[in-house]
Every structure is written in C-alpha cells, then in structure tokens.
Amino acid sequence: MTSDGGVLSSGALAIETRGLTKRFGRQTAVNGIDLHVPRGAVFGFLGPNGSGKTTSIRMLLGLTSATSGDISVLGASMPGRLHEVLPRVGALVEGPAFYPFLSGRANLARLDAADRHVTSRTRSARVARALDRVGLSHAANKKVHAYSLGMKQRLGIANALLTERELLVLDEPTNGLDPQGTREVRALIRSLASEGTTIFVSSHLLAEVEQMCTHAAVMSAGTLVAQGTLADLGRGSERRVRLTTPDVATASQVLHEVGFTPELVTTGGAADEDPVIVAAYASDGLPPETIVTSLVHAGVRIRGFALEEPSLEERFVALTGEGFDVVQ
C-alpha cells in the first residue's frame, strides 16, 4: 500500500493476493486475505504460531492449492504460470533439510543438479558463489552434521540463492537460533535486500522484524488484520511523553491545555531527583516541539523530555488481541 493508504499498482508488487482462502474441511486456515508486497521491500509476515502464515506461503509457492482467491507473484498468475515464476523465486520453507554426512558444498551441488532450468557446466561456480554470499566458504567442505543451527539456516538460504532470484521467501528463518545465529541470518537478509532482492519473511518474533523489515502484514486466526510500512502500522496508536521537571503543577496544567492528562507522576529515588510525568496522546496529535514550546513559554523547567513510541509488540497485541514471542 502507499503511504496515504492507496494500493500500489500490480507492476510495483512482487506479491499480490485477492481474497486468498484455504479451508481444510470445516476449518478455515486462511480467510480471504489481500496481500500487497512491494518490489524491493523486506516484508515481514507476522502473527502468532498457527495464524495461517505457513499455509499462506505454501499457497504462494504452489505447494498447496487455494480453496478460492487469486495469487500474483512477480506479475504472473499462480499457479497457472508456476513453472515460469519459480525459477525467479528462492524459498526456505519449514527449515532446511540436508544430508548430514555430506559437506555443505556437496549438498548444494546435489540440490542444484535437481534444477532442470540450469546447466551442469557452471554448477561448481554457482555453488561457490552461493556459499560465499552467505559467508560459508570457509565451511564448504565440512560435513553438515558439524554445522551449527545458524550455519544450517544460512546453507538453506544459499540453496535458495543458487541462481539469481528476484524474490526470496523465508519461513521463520531465525526460529530456534541462538543470538549469534540470529544476528548472522539478520545480517544476511539485510545484505540481500541491499542488492535489490525482494524478501518476504514470516516470523512470530517481533523484535527481529522491527530490526530488519521495511513493511509488514499482521495475521491473526487466519485473517489479515493490518499491513503497510512499519510507520503505517503505528499510525493511530497511542504514544507517550515522558517529562522530567521540578515544576509538576505547572507542567500538568500545560499538558491539560494541549489536550491530554498525565497518566503518572513519579518521584525520583534520590532526594535530588526531579519528578517524572508520563502522559499519553494520539499519534496524530501535536508534534513534540509544539509541546516543548508550550511548556517553556509557561516557565516549566525541563530536565528531560522524550517521546516514547509504542513497541511493535504493543501495536500488534492491540491489533490481534494476542501476545507474541519476542526476542530482545
């Protein structure tokens, strides 16, 4: 979607769905979703486990059929033009699977050999390039059973990058990783995005999405409840002002006059610490500089002033009514 709420033209979209629905018997796993993923975006597909993310991805890639609705990937209708689209898409869905007693290089060579769209003459070069792109050249000849989980995830992404891809689809790429492995995968996604690849990444880890994505969509119980840039998703939510001042009464009066009431007044732990006023206001309210100007004109001594944006967790809990797993 555009910043003013309009829908981007189909040519500007890497993925577009209309009314995409999947039912299993009487259960509706995905309920009429309309996705709009801009080309060149790092797009976070968010929701609690079981919200329909993986089922949606499987439909996008032609791994399962939709009950109803339309899918366009890279401007082509799916699954009708599946064989034309898939060579331009790299995917890591439901975790990488490799032969543990083959090396990383040998595993990629085996997977490359299964691709009928490429020639065997340049296989070694493709494998070497893919390993280098994910930072595994030093471990190319090591058996995969000796790889860390983060290295296995990077090898899975290398498989998705054996040929040049316009779109990369990653299903929970940091799931189960330790902090180092998470940082490795996050850095890799940023690097690929900087090269112009559109990246569609599903996750239930909000802090990860907040650090690497430009756009996001939120799923809840099979329904798409919001999508747009990360800034778009914060619009209309409540922000807070945190003000440190010795002039609590005057400051409180000014805050009333500009449209909101302090939520909390706390005193510092030490005798020489100034009280802190916390006040909430809507994101479409007065800009911070206007509030500060009003306080200064009223003679309020400002020791500290901060605008606190709601966290991604707070925004999405408000949208879905459910909690998310969050990693810091």
- Reference 158, options 178, 185, 193; nearest CA is 185
Give the residue with greater pLDDT, 265 vs 107: 107
pLDDT tens digits, residue range 299-309?
999 988 887 76
Q: What is the pLDDT of residue 327?
A: 39
Distances 219 to 54, 216, 286, 300 between C-alpha atoms, Å: 11, 10, 31, 45
CA distances (Å), origin 240, targets 82, 207, 256, 277: 48, 20, 14, 10
Q: Which residue has the higher pLDDT, 255 or 176?
A: 255
315 versus 4: which is more confidently predicted?
Answer: 315
Mean pLDDT within 272-283: 68
Distance CA 294, CA 292 (A): 5
Q: Assess whether the previous peptide bond of 79 is cis (omega < 30° from 0).
A: yes
Averaged pLDDT for residues 225-244: 76
Better-scored residue on pLDDT, 44 or 8 = 44
Read off the pLDDT of each residue in 211-221 and give the average, rounded to a whole number.
89
More confident residue, 109 or 177: 109
Residue 85 — pLDDT band, cuts 50, 70, 90?
very high
Whether the pLDDT of residue 98 is over 60: the answer is yes
Report whether pLDDT(320) > 90.
no
User: What length is written for the chain?
Assistant: 328
- Report the pLDDT averaged over residues 42-53: 88
In this predicted structure, the answer to whether residue 311 has a pLDDT above a threshold of 70 is no
Looking at residues 131-155, what average pLDDT do you find?
Answer: 91
Q: Is the pLDDT of residue 322 over 70?
A: no
Q: Is 242 left (phi over 0), alpha (psi -120 to 50) or beta?
A: beta
Q: Average pLDDT in the 59-84 region?
A: 93
Asked whether the predicted pLDDT for residue 271 surpasses 60, the reply is: no
Q: Does 243 or 199 have the greater pLDDT score?
A: 199
The per-residue pLDDT for 5 is 44
> Mean pLDDT, the chain, as a whole number?
83
Measure the CA–CA gap between 36 and 10, rounded to whole angstroms: 9
pLDDT of residue 96: 66
The structural domains of the chain, ordered by start, are 10-234 (3.40.50.300), 238-309 (3.30.70.260)
Higher pLDDT: 46 or 200? It is 200
Average pLDDT score over residue span 197-203 = 92
Q: Which of the two residues, 186 and 287, has the higher pLDDT score?
A: 186
Most confident of the following: 207-216, 274-283, 284-293 = 207-216
Residue 8 confidence (pLDDT) above 70: no
